[in-house]
Amino acid sequence: MFLPTRRSCVSCICAAGLKGYFDFLCSGVELLRRQCRHEEAVALLEAVLSNWRQKRPDGNDAQKRQIKEELEVLSISLSVEGRLSRTALASLRHLLQRRASISRHRGSWRSLLEVYGRLLFTGRLAQQASKALAVAREKDLFLENRSWTIRQLLQRPHSDALTLIVGHFCMLSSRWRFAVAEYTRTHCLRPREPLPCLCLAVAYLCLSTSNKTQNKHDMVLRGFAMLGRYSQLRRETQEDAADICQQKNASYALEVQTVRMAETLYNLARAYHHVNLLHLAVPLYLRCLDLLDKTGDTSSEAHGNSFPFPQKPWLPSQGENGHDNSCAGIAASKAKAGSITGSGAERSGEAAIQLDKAQIQKCAALNLMSIWRSQGGLAQARAVASRYLVWDAE
């Protein structure tokens, strides 16, 4: 495989036409992808795009513009799949900046911004971000993207997605008060969505552990109040998603409900764990694991209390691409990009739900094991580890 020069691009286009050249290029990229040579595939696409950017517009300018946008999206998808985070983020920033001022791209701009946020705060980058921002390995990458996001927010102060991302950056740098301010603005812009409430609750609980905070009990109270609001909104969005999924597959809808119930239960348990109320966190961790083990028994509990307290641990009445407020967030985002259609999207949504279920189960088991080990319950810790914490051979 060679990287095309300007002359080779022109000769290929003249011989096969734009459509034939595009199909030929996509076939070559697909071969590289199947061989896990993502870096070479992205380099090939970037070389083609660079050649096209240097050309003057001609009679086929509209068709070339459409093909160029498809190649840019394909390059971003390959960068994400190949874990080329720096390349993917740079391409996303370029695409977002170009589409921001075009009214017909408003919907796709928001979708791309959500992908940008997920790429920054999930996966390998999120593991690096779990450390303090000053000592993270990807410090320059985070600082570069933080500066770009702040500049974009100054131009669009009413963008809830940009405000949420800036709040995440404040959390990474342990600036809890700034994070509370940004998450509060996001909640005002999106009052009916559960994610800003959850983020605001976490920021309040982190602020309560700061040495500079005087009214710590007030911060804890505010944090759990926002958790209650998150639980209520999550139940409402889950019911809407369940109605949509019920039309396609009843068992899949029940599984979506179960995973989102477990998600809400886990978040509340983790909040109690964070403030060292272990006697309240343990029953909720156990209930979360039991709920994921018995997915078929969740339908009778769908109308329980929306804010479960450990004294009587009712299940909340609700639960990525964990995914947005739909039954298959990752599948929906891929379908918009044109990568999957029909039953493939449903299969991808089921895979995403299974991944969420496994992650919640392992996190709950790991936290429960750490609590029991710290309290001297080694037998209980070993039982949980042997049942739920199965590590991959890789």
Residue 219 phi, psi dihedral angles, 5° rounding? -65, -40
Tokens 């669009």 -> residue: 156
Residue 307 has pLDDT above 80, yes or no: no
Q: What was the pLDDT predicted at 18?
A: 75
Distance CA 116, CA 107 (A): 14
Element holding 129 (H helix, E strand): helix 123-129
Q: Which of 56-65, 222-231, 328-337 has the highest mean pLDDT?
A: 222-231
Tokens 């061989």 -> residue: 35
CA 193-199-201 angle, 5° bins: 105
Residue-wise pLDDT for 151-198, tens only, equals: 999 999 999 999 999 999 999 888 999 999 999 999 999 999 999 999
Domain map of the chain by residue range?
Answer: 6-54+63-100, 111-123+137-187, 192-394
Distance CA 47, CA 135 (A): 34
Residue 312 phi, psi dihedral angles, 5° rounding? -145, 85
Q: Kindly provide the residue ranges of all beta strands, DSSP E only, lying in 29-154, ordered along the sequence.
A: none
Look over the chain and give the mean of its residue pLDDT values, rounded to a whole number.
77
Distance CA 160, CA 60 (A): 38
Q: How many CB atoms lie within 10 A of CB 394?
A: 3
Side-chain half-sphere exposure of 213, counting CA atoms within 13 A: 17
Find the distance separating the first CA and the last CA of the chain, reported in whole Å.
30
* Window from 62-71, 235-244, 268-277 with minimum mean pLDDT: 235-244
The full DSSP string for 191-211 is TT-HHHHHHHHHHHHHHHT-T
Structure tokens at 181: 């301010």
Q: Which band of pLDDT confidence, cut at 50, 70 and 90, is reported for residue 200?
A: very high
- Are 204 and 219 within 8 A, CB to CB? yes
What mean pLDDT do residues 329-356 have?
49
* Window from 204-218, 242-256, 338-352 with minimum mean pLDDT: 338-352
Distance CA 201, CA 206 (A): 9
Structure letter (DSSP) for residue 309: B
Residue 8 has pLDDT above 70, yes or no: no
CA 266-271-273 angle, 5° bins: 90
pTM for this prediction: 0.75
Structure tokens at 175: 């600036």
Distance CA 347, CA 338 (A): 15
Structure letter (DSSP) for residue 346: H
Q: What was the pLDDT predicted at 297?
A: 46
Q: Which band of pLDDT confidence, cut at 50, 70 and 90, is reported for residue 139?
A: confident
CA 36 vs. chain centroid, Å, equals 24
Q: What was the pLDDT predicted at 148?
A: 93
Distance CA 370, CA 362 (A): 12
- Dihedral in degrees, nearest 10, Cα atoms 257, 324, 289, 368: -160
